[in-house]
Structure 1
């Protein structure tokens, strides 16, 4: 779920982790082989790579963790391009121990970085309070607070919830009507940004990756838009894409993007996620269900939400054969949509 979500190699994330290993340590022969197979798209070793990851995942040992009963605080950034937030929320929901979940704007380690310098930092402050209560026994009230605490990317305001499912309690669907065919192997201009840099700009300046939605070339990008919203839409949690896909080749990769589109057509990235398939029958439709990366973003009144799908993004390794095309359709008995999670107002 960290570097292989949607069965897609997260290229920049894996390359950074691997490079950091060589820079600061001595990677074992096992790690060297796994990263060679992973970055080299050696699908014959896919099961071995997944098993390697599961062995190192806390999720594999959830029963033992719950039995142990340790109080667990999870903190992460909405834009963490190495460890996306969805997996934290899923893990949090499985915990039966005393627990707390916090999400803030930023990328990997950037939300916590100032604490390393001894500067005031919310993550560090909450961690100290957590330790003070569960290790020292201080009655500081941290155990009586609502356990899910998130910070909006748009306003910087904190919100608290009793559990994760309450974060985006209201769901609103955007229909993905009609039939749309796109060609592969060309970056349409819709991208998830650059590892660390893009989400740092979003964290401090509220400048997420952007794209001019009207100018995206429809030959290489599928675009669907909502109506213009008459009131502010508070996107909270995990947007989900459901569609029917017909490929012309047995393998392929798509990347879905959710944009906040202003009156002039400038789209600000709300979320994205990749999806890769292998072994499909060319010309035969199949269903696709894809969770976009969880987030907290406020869409202003007068704006729209747009779902954009293309096939190339520098963040990910794609598997689109030369000349491949992808067709998205919406059958009457199984309509396509993107489900938007909204805060109940």
Structure 2
């Protein structure tokens, strides 16, 4: 049986959702299937009358009972419908505010709690085949028991609900439009990006499952294997079977209209995985990236406040389910909100940057422990880093660090002189007279010597002002898993970003071997040496 104890953030969201439910019309009659007269969703701001919410049990795959709620326009007719699977650790109350809004715009809205969570039956399937079958069962129920038009079905969600919705569009061709907010396309990358296990994010998912769900032996076993770093091939195969990228051909064959919205600093599902997937989508598509961490950009919309992500969702569903020309189909397909600049649009991801600027890593100066970042990559120097020793340079705390940055507009910051030069390599560029507009995925190439067979380094790109204050622009770890030590080269794609380094500031690279966000593969007491020929490629406009 699912446990009912809830951590504070989940309780808070539930309370806010319950408040939205109370604000709904509690006395309205439940929806009944209406005559098959197509009705166009309302693009106007005035809401149409709705049925109010009713709570229902939906029989999922294998007879598992899924808890759900439904709200719809009260007038007779057939309406486009949207199905919302709830997020990891939350339940079908999550979307109460948005369900009410969408029903008022002319949609049937069914929200449900996936199997294994809260009062829904079964064990957590982590967007596996049982969850896919459940989604289709919910669609079946929606068509049979509401005023939903079978030819106009959409699916949407945040995080876990987002992943289920996008994956579902590969298995159920009735899903004609998807809005995926803070979701994943490659669960293998989310767990093992650049062969580095993501410690804090996986731990948070494991904690939520233990507190609020019925993990069962499948999920519990895979998380235990992940934590112990064993049976890696089996864990990756399990994760691959739960990745939309695995089923891209099927999604393209069904051609749903897909809107992907995420955050630059998503510490659970980093955004790089979305870029290639978006580029290979064949149907109508849109990619939106904003500052923040996992589920932060869309959070205010969950509690019913105006929100840019949800506004895009309305326009997307109006365009591709309701038949209303909102103009979004004719707009550039990529929208980015840089950390410190106005929102920009581009026809494709490749259009973000106009060139790539290479910054060679230079010899470390003896008087300040800093090397020059810039010019051609030169040789004849090296910098040795100890393993298992952290510095003040790190990626912060999952959800909290980048989440706070999104709410305050201030990126995570350190005072660069506090970075111990005996534990890290630091390279700073000259201070240009014009801003440096970074757009895309910076990449770091490191030539390493004296390495063990396995090891990890972490690269951080900072914006350094004249007082030593360094704002974290982007970062990523990279791990090598060889059979012998010695010299090697490693390449790491830093997390995608859009940031303007102000004129007079220095683009600065820090490399060390430890970050609390990740498990590392370093042996205690060892060293890693960065050598000449290393460089950073920065995409710029």
| TM-score normalised by length of structure 1 | 0.94
Matched with 2:294 is 108
CA contact (8 A) 2:447 2:531 kept: yes
Alpha-carbon distance in structure 2 between the residues aligned to 1:230 and 1:221: 28
The answer to which of 32-41 and 58-67 deviates more is: 32-41
Matched with 1:204 is 407
Matched with 1:232 is 435
Displacement after TM superposition at 1:280 (Å):
4.3
CA contact (8 A) 2:262 2:289 kept: yes
1:39 partnered with 2:39: no
The answer to which of 289-298 and 244-253 deviates more is: 244-253
Alpha-carbon distance in structure 1 between the residues aligned to 2:248 and 2:269: 18
Alpha-carbon distance in structure 2 between the residues aligned to 1:164 and 1:285: 35
Alpha-carbon distance in structure 2 between the residues aligned to 1:185 and 1:34: 26
Alpha-carbon distance in structure 2 between the residues aligned to 1:268 and 1:321: 30
2:534 to 324, 328, 336: 336
Matched with 2:195 is 7
Alpha-carbon distance in structure 1 between the residues aligned to 2:483 and 2:477: 17
Matches within 5 A, 1:224-303: 224-282=427-485, 284-303=486-505
Displacement after TM superposition at 1:277 (Å):
1.4
Displacement after TM superposition at 1:54 (Å):
0.5
Deviations 1:217-238 (A, max 9, x none): 1221011111112111111110
Alpha-carbon distance in structure 2 between the residues aligned to 1:162 and 1:247: 45
Displacement after TM superposition at 1:23 (Å):
2.0
Displacement after TM superposition at 1:20 (Å):
1.3
2:306 to 115, 120, 136: 120
Displacement after TM superposition at 1:319 (Å):
1.6
CA contact (8 A) 2:478 2:491 kept: no
Change (3 A) 1:247 1:18: farther
Deviations 1:278-308 (A, max 9, x none): 22422x2111111000011111100011111
Matched with 2:376 is none
1:314 partnered with 2:500: no
Matches within 5 A, 1:159-178: 159-177=344-362, 178=381
Displacement after TM superposition at 1:329 (Å):
1.3
Q: What is the aligned-residue RMSD (CA, Å)?
A: 1.2
CA contact (8 A) 1:259 1:268 kept: yes
1:324 to 495, 515, 526: 526
Larger Rg: 2
Change (3 A) 1:29 1:247: farther
Change (3 A) 1:280 1:267: farther
Matched with 1:65 is 251
Matched with 1:218 is 421
Alpha-carbon distance in structure 2 between the residues aligned to 1:12 and 1:159: 32
Alpha-carbon distance in structure 1 between the residues aligned to 2:488 and 2:275: 28
Matched with 2:374 is none
Deviations 1:11-56 (A, max 9, x none): 11001111112222111211111101111222xx111111111000
CA contact (8 A) 1:153 1:202 kept: no
Matched with 1:150 is 336
Alpha-carbon distance in structure 1 between the residues aligned to 2:450 and 2:204: 32
2:240 to 33, 41, 54: 54
2:212 to 24, 32, 36: 24
Alpha-carbon distance in structure 2 between the residues aligned to 1:172 and 1:273: 19
Matched with 1:131 is 317
Secondary structure of the equivalent of 2:390? coil
Give aligned pairs, total.
Answer: 335
Secondary structure of the equivalent of 2:251? helix
CA contact (8 A) 2:352 2:439 kept: yes
Q: Which is bigger in relative contact order (C-alpha 8 A, separation at least 6)?
A: 1
Displacement after TM superposition at 1:189 (Å):
1.2
1:190 partnered with 2:393: yes
